[in-house]
Amino acid sequence: MIINGVTIDPTFAEAFPMKGTRIIITAHNTKWAMISAQAFTGFATSVIACGCEAGIERELDPSETPDGRHGVAVLIFAMGGKGLAKQVETRAGQCVLTSPTSALFAGVEGETEMALGQNLRFFGDGFQISKMIDGKRYWRIPVMDGEFLTQEKTGVVSSVGGGNFLVLAQSQAQALVACEAAIEQMRKIPNVIMPFPGGVVRSGSKVGSKYKALNASTNDAFCPTLKGQTKSDLSPEVESVMEIVIDGLSKEDIDKAMRVGIQAVCDLGAEHGIRRISAGNYGGKLGPFHFHLQEIMA
């Protein structure tokens, strides 16, 4: 398949089941809601070392938030429910509770529930106040700037993590421009995040390493400087490869995000140095979710 001079490889991205949730952070204004959300989603690019993958889904108007203030929707994913609960609790405690004027709410109803502010209430040292409103429990925790309001629980959704595609370009600058264009379009799709810095990964990994201590290492087949040293997957004119990783609340959400992202890259086309779109997989043996590039773009 070739779109606008860009070859779409007959391959697929391999993704894994994850547990995810959406939380809503509100604050006095968008600036402070965003600061809190950025802190919450910091160091959350990959479960390999961060314990979770998190990102900002979008800004919310006051009409969309439970308390009628400006807000930000955040998605966070982990490999299991317990891990997710731990990450949400520690991040909410250190990054949202601490953030001036913030409040924290569940943003999704799931098959099950987990603690959101349930344990943060103990920070109130006995002065915390519970309020049941419309069947949902909230905690009012006295803090130095007033009161921190948090919903007790949030929903847990069976999600998908690790959807991806690779952008192969003639130069590093062209790969970056293409990825930026893709991310701009993909951020318009609900229920997904691209957890890496700016949504783009320049250090895609393969499973395993020559070093026993590591379970992942550089994806040498796609490293352009190794074309003559390893079994490369790159043609001579490709000088840079960048990857976009997508986590979503469902396979369909990732499908949509990949489609608009790849289309945005292809719209730039060969005349902007884009040569191929490929994807990372492990032979289909590890992850149950397969995103076939040519089917998605058909």
Q: Both tokens of residue 40? A: 């919450």
- 163 neighbors 291 (Cβ within 8 angstroms): yes
Angstrom distance (rounded) from CA 6 to CA 16: 27
Q: Which of 49, 63, 111, 134 binds other proteins (CB under 8 A)?
A: 134
Place of tokens 């395993």: 208
Nearer to other proteins, 132 or 298 (CB): 132
**Closest among 157, 149, 99, 145 to 120, alpha carbons compared:** 149
Contact pattern for other proteins over residues 44 through 83, marking x by CB under 8 A: ----------------------xxxx--------------
What is each CA distance from 269 to 221, 249, 273, in whole angstroms?
Answer: 23, 30, 7
Q: Which of 59, 147, 180, 220 binds other proteins (CB under 8 A)?
A: 147
Stretch that binds other proteins, among 144-152, 201-209, 223-231, 283-291 (CB under 8 A): 144-152
The secondary structure of the chain in percent helix, strand, coil, rounded to multiples of 5, reads 30, 35, 35
| Least distance (Å) between residue 103 CB and other proteins | 5
Cβ proximity to other proteins: between 106 and 234 the closer is: 106
Instruction: Work out which of 10, 127, 188, 237 binds other proteins, going by CB under 8 A.
Output: 127
Burial class (CB in 10 A: 0-12, 13-18, 19+), 205: middle
**Orientation angle between helical segments 251-268 and 172-186, nearest 10 degrees:** 140
Which part of the chain contacts other proteins (CB under 8 A), choosing from 10-18, 74-82, 143-151, 273-281? Answer: 143-151
Using the rule CB under 8 A, is 149 a contact of other proteins?
Answer: yes
* DSSP summary character for residue 2: E
Q: Closer CB to other proteins, residue 105 or residue 196?
A: 105
The answer to whether residue 144 forms part of the interface with other proteins (CB under 8 A) is no
Residues near other proteins, by CB under 8 A: 66-69, 103, 126-127, 129-134, 138, 140, 146-147, 149
